[in-house]
Amino acid sequence: MRTGWWIAVAAAVLLTAAVLATAIAFPSVAATTCPGCYGLERIEPGLYAEPGLTPAQRRDVTQAVEQGRKQVHDFFGGRESSPDVLVCLSDDCYRRIGGGGERGIAVLNRAVMLSPRGVNPVIAAHELTHVELHARLGGAAVPHWFDEGLAVLIAGRDLP
């Protein structure tokens, strides 16, 4: 009984430490797991953005992501992935959720983050392609050039 209690306490402490370590070492992983915890607000299911956007900014964000999703859908003939998309329109916001100098990034092939420079259909489609491809591969590996090449092909142009 007593031993069991200590094991439970130790497990809880270790789990908390692991969660904290993840949040500190990999803020992007933590942010994509809990966008609200990082101050993002839900614009629609699966789409989170920095709060305080003007109606025009909101429309731009929604359209960029919608168009990106459509390009992936049209190319593959459907989508098997439905990653959350996190969008920042300020550098502060993007830094806070763990972003760097890139225009967009696929996080663990489960979510997509778009930086203030990546809020457009090209970058959205590029990153969404990475997630879709990996969902379809189901753990199988392809060369990096194939992954990137396909993303560039579907996005139409440009590298993030």
Shortest Å, Cβ 71 to Zn ion: 14
The residue number whose beta carbon is nearest to Zn ion equals 151
| Whether the Cβ atoms of residue 111 and residue 87 lie closer than 8 Å to each other | no
Q: Which is nearer to Zn ion, 31 or 105 (CB)?
A: 105
Shortest Å, Cβ 88 to Zn ion: 18
Would you call 10 exposed, middle or buried from its count of C-beta atoms within 10 A (0-12, 13-18, 19+)? exposed
Sheet holding 47-49, edge to edge: 41-44, 47-49, 84-87, 111-114, 104-107
Q: Which is nearer to Zn ion, 119 or 151 (CB)?
A: 151
Q: Which is nearer to Zn ion, 15 or 159 (CB)?
A: 159
Shortest Å, Cβ 155 to Zn ion: 9
In the complex, which residues of this chain contact Zn ion (CB under 5 A)?
A: 148, 151
| Whether the Cβ atoms of residue 41 and residue 48 lie closer than 8 Å to each other | yes
Shortest Å, Cβ 29 to Zn ion: 18
21: left (phi over 0), alpha (psi -120 to 50) or beta: alpha
Q: Which is nearer to Zn ion, 125 or 151 (CB)?
A: 151
